Amino acid sequence: MSLTAALNSARNSLTVRSAETDVVSRNIAGVNEPGYSRKTADLTVSTTGSVQLLQVSRSADEALFTRFIRTNSDAGTQDSLLSGVNQLQQIVDPALGNATPAGRLGALVDALQQAASAPDSPVLAQNAVDAGKSLVQTLNDASTTVQNVRKTADASIATSVEKVNTLLAKFQAVNAKIVADTGVGRDVTDQLDVRDQILMELSSELGIRTTLRPNNDMQIYTDGGATLFDSVPRTVTFQPVSVFGPGVQGNAVIVDGTPVTGPGAVMQSKSGNIVGLTTLRDQVAPSFQGQLDEIARGVINAFAESDINGANPRAGLFRDGVSTALPGAGLQAGLASTIKIAATVDQAQGGNPFLLRDGGISDPLDPNYKLNTTSAAAFSDRYQTLISAFDTMQSFDSSGGALSNASLAGYASSSVGWIESLRQVTTNNADQKNTLLDRAKQTLSSATGVSLDAEMSKMLDLERAYQGSAKLISVVDQMMQSLFAAVR
């Protein structure tokens, strides 16, 4: 090998080692950066035998990355759902004691039993009425809480949709640069990392899948098949509901004109934060609201009063607003929010609490509904009838998930069991999905992430290689100086 060839080889080696050192430095700098993938300097040997830098490549595993974004979407679904279910469970939390629908029912039975033991006591009669007022307030508050959970979920869907649109706009800018730079052979590995990071965030909000086209161009679809991105972002829209109430339906999330959530969705999305929030808003919360409404309907029916012939029933202690008409059969949407105590029996509203004992709450001036016709102080039959009504079997709407045929107390207990069971299942699902997500993240990081020890070892190897090339240049320099000295 001539001295010139040796010098060129050494100089070329220094250039290549410098490029490799730059790649290693990037890896070390990105060791703790989320979404960063290990970069590798790919070398080749030219026809002259010299080493050249071919390209910089990144460690990537499409299968592991796909698994990660899927588990990320699943975890997003369960986390958002669990958050809402925990809020609903607080309505029946045992820590509240009697301040739950089931607890208020029990307190009302106790108050009626005490009043029955001393039917001449106005204090105990009013205590029973007050227990009824507490039950009404609890049902009203519980209904408000359920609708607030729905409203919060609806607002969170709007926030999530806004985030999706923001991420798609960022994705467009990064994807366009990747396509352009790939076309002219530039290093796009850092941009690919940025694009993957956007996909990770996007998958948390909505389940996605991707396809690649030439020049690293990427398309994004929802897991239901709707197009989210194809050269340009598709429009994702959502119209929040300003006021939520029982029976009010939430709107669907629409991608490029196609609903992807709700019963009318043509391309139903299956996972992601948006799906979890939609499930909470449209299924879980309305089911629990329905159970509260059925408790309210059961209470109104249990306390209904009939005339002295046992006919023409009317609402007694409890009623739907101010109406004395009994609720119809089946689920009455929103009844838990409109149930009231009869003013005619409440001292605070100018009423007579002894009407609970004597009958005639629906209309004190109608003698046909007065059971204690002699106004006997020891009359307790009506109290006993009301107490036994709590154990009388009733038919309930089963669409909410609780029992369809049960006593009033039994139905309230089954409602508690329903929400507690749902919370347990949702908690287990969330724990499982998040465990899978952690494992997917660790597996992906092990396959594509940076090992600091490996990079430091590589840096030492490059340092020795650099020293070898520098030594060769020094030897060539000495030989050329000797050669020049010999020819002078």
Query: Under 8 Å CB-to-CB from 255, ≥6 apart: which residues?
Result: 222, 226, 227, 228, 234, 235, 236, 267
CA angle 47, 49, 52 (to 5 degrees): 85
Give the torsion through C-alpha atoms of 384, 387, 393, 396, to 10 deg. Answer: 140
- Residue 145: the pLDDT is 94
Between these two residues, 51 and 259, which has the higher pLDDT value?
Answer: 259
SS3 content of the chain, % helix, strand, coil (to 5): 60, 10, 30
**DSSP 3-state of 164:** helix
Q: Domain ranges for the chain, please list them.
A: 3-59+459-487, 66-436
For helices 101-117 and 122-183, angle between their N-to-C axes, nearest 10 degrees: 180
Q: Which is nearest to 81 in space by CA: 328, 452, 380, 425?
A: 425
Q: How many Å apart are CA 353 and CA 364, to the nearest integer? A: 11
List Cβ<8 Å contacts ≥24 apart for 314-317.
314/362, 314/363, 314/369, 315/342, 315/362, 316/342, 316/361, 316/362, 317/129, 317/132, 317/341, 317/342, 317/345, 317/356, 317/361, 317/386
Q: What is the pLDDT of residues 4-27, one digit of tens each?
A: 655 566 566 666 666 667 767 777
| C-alpha to C-alpha distances, 312 to 229, 260, 297, 307, 363, nearest whole angstrom | 64, 50, 18, 6, 13
Average pLDDT of the chain is 87
- Please say whether the beta carbons of 244 and 152 come within 8 A: no
Q: Cite the beta strand spans of 94-231 per DSSP E.
A: 208-213, 217-222, 227-230
User: Six-digit token pair at 338?
Assistant: 């409109």
Q: What is the pLDDT of residues 78-123, one digit of tens each?
A: 999 999 999 999 898 877 777 889 999 999 999 999 999 999 999 9
Q: Where are the alpha helices (DSSP H) in 359-451?
A: 381-389, 408-448
Name the nearest CA neighbour of 372 among 449, 308, 439.
Answer: 308
CB half-sphere exposure, 334, CA atoms < 13 A: 9
- What pLDDT score was predicted for residue 16? 64
The Cα–Cα gap between 193 and 169 comes to 16
In terms of pLDDT, which residue wins out, 423 or 444? 423
> What is the helix (H) or strand (E) element at residue 232, kind and residue range?
strand 232-233
Cα distance between residue 31 and residue 447, in whole Å: 13
Over range 457-465, report the average pLDDT.
Answer: 65
Paired tokens of 109: 């039975």
- Residues 8 and 368: their CA atoms lie apart, in Å, by 117
Please give the single-letter amino acid code of residue 380: S
User: In this structure, what are the phi and psi dihedrals at residue 28, rounded to the nearest 5 degrees?
Assistant: -65, -40
Residue entry with tokens 């929010």: 337
Is the Cα dihedral 363, 365, 369, 375 positive or negative?
positive
Q: Is the entire prediction scored with pTM above 0.75?
A: yes
Helix (H, G, I), strand (E, B) or coil at 184: coil
The answer to whether 241 and 151 are in contact (CB under 8 A) is yes
Determine the residue type at 391: D
Instruction: Decide if 157 contacts 345 (C-beta within 8 A).
Output: no
Residue 67 burial (10 A CB sphere; 0-12, 13-18, 19+)? middle
Instruction: Give 324's pLDDT tier (boundaries 50, 70, 90).
Output: confident
What percent of the chain is modeled with pLDDT above 70?
Answer: 85
Residue 329: phi, psi to the nearest 5? -70, 150
**159-217 pLDDT, tens digit each:** 999 999 999 999 999 999 999 999 998 889 889 999 999 999 999 999 999 999 999 99
